[in-house]
Amino acid sequence: MSDPSIGDPSTRVSRLSERQRMDRADLDAVLDATPLAVVAFVRDSHPVALPIGFARLGDEVVIHGSTGSPWLCTLATGVPASVCVTLLDGVLVARSGFESSFHYRSAVLFGGFTVIGDDEKDDYLRELTDSFIPGRTAELRASSTRELAATQVLAIAIGADNWSVKVADGWPEDDPEDVASGVWAGVIPIETRYRPPLRAPDCDEGVPVPASVRGMTGLSGA
């Protein structure tokens, strides 16, 4: 259970508050743009922050891993946690080091994780797989009883006021004298994209590339 003495964390952006986004659509856009998050919490009296794959499934952020993972077992007790997602979109090249920065989108979600029960676990895992590789579950065998038993699925609810989004996407804000100096300024965009797939060494050359992989990488044919 969560510790009631800790209180609720603030979701208000105090530094450059004009960059805060209040619409749920902005949160969903950040969460849906990457499969990687960082989960932070206190374990054994020490703060920890660990990266993990995740997906937003409706009004929940869902993670999974081994039932033997000590830190997932800690999260399963409902301890207060935060989930942070950050997307780096560009390098802001200003006319001074002080004004140089980044374009980014970030979201932080606060709360406690709950355990997804055995009756729903398989459905959640199928949704997770399809969120990472759209259409993949239709190409795979069903999970075995042993695999399901070895996997823990946790979810944290997205509420009305337990999240914060901050977006930096403007141009350099240089002082007039720096603008007049003739030094170049602008933005270098950063792009993350899928590259052509690599066949596993033990995968026969006669096995066609599946539709799910072709769809992610833009391949045509087999």
pLDDT in tens, 111-135: 999 999 999 999 999 999 999 999 9
pLDDT in tens, 32-72: 999 999 999 999 889 999 999 999 999 999 999 999 999 99
Identify the pLDDT of residue 2: 40
Coil, strand or helix at 221 = coil
Domain 18-86+106-166 superfamily per CATH: Electron Transport, Fmn-binding Protein; Chain A (2.30.110.10)
HSE-up of residue 173 (Cα within 13 Å, Cβ side)? 5
Who contacts 102 (Cβ-Cβ below 8 Å, separation ≥6)? 88, 89, 90, 91, 92, 168
| Whether the predicted pLDDT of 82 surpasses 50 | yes
Give the C-alpha separation, 77 to 114, whole Å: 8
Top-confidence range, 7-21, 118-132, 207-221: 118-132
Identify the pLDDT of residue 22: 76
Kindly state the tokens that stand for 60. 């929940």
Give the C-alpha separation, 99 to 172, whole Å: 7
HSE-up of residue 201 (Cα within 13 Å, Cβ side)? 0
Mean pLDDT, range 85-94, rounded to an integer: 97
Question: Which of 121, 112, 110 is closest to 153 using CA atoms?
Answer: 121
List the domain boundaries for the chain. Answer: 18-86+106-166
Mind spelling out the 3-state secondary structure of 81-145?
Answer: EEEEEEEEEEEEECCCCCCCEEEEEEEEEEECCEECCHHHHHHHHHHHHHHHCCCCHHHCCCCCH
Mean pLDDT, range 188-193, rounded to an integer: 94
| Whether the predicted pLDDT of 1 surpasses 60 | no
Is the pTM higher than 0.85? yes
Q: Which residue has the tokens 């020490």?
A: 46
